[in-house]
Amino acid sequence: MLRSTKVTVALLFVAYAIDYIDRLAINLALPLLGEEFDLDYSQRGLIISTFFIAYTLAQLPGGLLADRYGAVRMALIGLVAWSVFTGLTALAWSFGTLLVVRFLFGLAQGVFPAAAVKLVAERSIPEQRATATGWMNSSNAVGTLLAIVVAAALLPLIGWRGMFLAVAALGVLSLVSIKLWLPPALPAEIDHGPDSSWDNMRTVLRSRAMWLFALMFFGYDFVIWGMSSWVPSYLHDERGIALSSASLLLIPATVVAAVTTVVGGRISDRLAGNSRIVVVPSMLACIVMLVSVPFASNTALFVVLVTLGSAAASFAFMPCFALPLRSLPSSVVGAASSMIIFGGMVAGIVAPLVFGFIVDHLSWSAAFVSLALGPVVAIIAVMAAPQTREKMLNLVQLKTAN
């Protein structure tokens, strides 16, 4: 990769890791919030889903604004705002105020992802964008790991309120580093694309092909957000494991997910964006793992199955982005990536609520099996999606600049 690409990826890796620490801290504190505010499982799921509702609403506007007014500006706005609302989470005094703060937090974080993908696209060549973005997105798993470590260390010492105040300051460090060290964008001619006109952004938003990639990402994230939201509570409530220990048991899954995200991006570049070859087998393997989880006879086997399921799902992360990143010019990558991320965030709304509802009315086992819906959706979407750059450009016809 080019030096400008490597520096950009490194800076955004740190920012995204902080993003995930701030975002996932609530999942790990969920049992404590439930006890303090006397919440049932459906209400706890609503806390998580409220964030995703706002985060989802911000995706498409965030991508369009990044294309129109600049990815750097939107990324920095997101960093400042989400740090503020992370701190305000610690001040919540009721279930209602917690929902309001997490909604505003979701809006703040929602403008960042499309801006981050666009920052990478502007500083990398098309043939390496999936690899570069894969490295950046491996920070999601690293951020999850760090969130687990932070929660395990801070929750017993200073409680959930103190933990949110502590992590709120991290965004400031990332903000300063991006302002100081972000390289300039590569020349626009590198991908010979049109400008970021409203017409071209509307063309991207209306593209059936792009919505298939969004649906593919929905399937991936249905698994990821279902497991990350509820596994700590399951281990705590059903297996009697201390919350700090339950969080640490997720470390293997997060480490493996980081590795398979990077590998999935590298493979996608080598396959010229062909996603079907990766997504179908990885999602079939994920289904096998999810259906096996209820039969885990002990905690060690449960952790192994969750780790393997997370690994299988994470192979499909970057293939959801690879062909659009390779085919479309960086001028419209904000709109394109926001659509794909939008699909994943809809899963972030649906999966925690569905999981919590099934736990309340059926069982934990049934809830884990229900997550297999995600891989099924991803397989259907990838079978219908274009698999070559030529086909993608035929389906998404942009107007060239005058």
Do the domain assignments include residue 188? no
Q: Which domain holds residue 212?
A: 196-401
Do the domain assignments include residue 247? yes
pLDDT band at 27 (very low <50, low <70, confident <90, very high): confident
In this structure, the answer to whether residues 55 and 133 fall within a common structural domain is yes
pLDDT band at 402 (very low <50, low <70, confident <90, very high): very low
In this structure, the answer to whether residues 96 and 214 fall within a common structural domain is no
In this structure, the answer to whether residues 325 and 262 fall within a common structural domain is yes
In this structure, the answer to whether residues 254 and 172 fall within a common structural domain is no
Residue 298 has phi, psi (to 5 degrees) of -145, 170
Domain boundary among 130, 157, 183: 183
In this structure, the answer to whether residues 129 and 276 fall within a common structural domain is no
3-state secondary structure labels for all residues of 24-65: HHHHHCHHHHHHHHCCCHHHHHHHHHHHHHHHHHHHHHHHHH
Report the distance separating Cα 138 and Cα 376, nearest Å. Answer: 24
Instruction: Give per-residue pLDDT as tens, 234-280.
Output: 888 878 787 667 767 777 887 888 889 889 989 998 998 889 999 99
> Could you give the number of structural domains in the chain?
2
Is 212 a residue whose pLDDT tops 90? yes
Instruction: Give per-residue pLDDT as tens, 106-162.
Output: 888 888 888 898 898 888 888 888 888 888 888 877 787 787 777 777 777 777 787
In this structure, the answer to whether residues 9 and 114 fall within a common structural domain is yes
Q: Contact, 200 vs 400, CB < 8 A?
A: no
Do the domain assignments include residue 225? yes
Residue written as tokens 């009697």?
A: 240
Instruction: Give per-residue pLDDT as tens, 34-87.
Output: 777 777 777 777 777 788 788 889 988 888 888 888 888 888 888 888 888 888
Token output for 17 = 């890791």
In this structure, the answer to whether residues 246 and 169 fall within a common structural domain is no
Do the domain assignments include residue 189? no
What pLDDT shows up at residue 129? 86
11-38 mean pLDDT: 80
Residue (of 340, 325, 323) closest to 121 by Cα position: 325
pTM of this structure = 0.83
Which domain CATH number covers 207? 1.20.1250.20
Measured over the CA atoms of residue 133, residue 346, residue 217 and residue 354, the dihedral's sign is positive
In this structure, the answer to whether residues 17 and 77 fall within a common structural domain is yes
Report the distance separating Cα 16 and Cα 18, nearest Å. Answer: 5
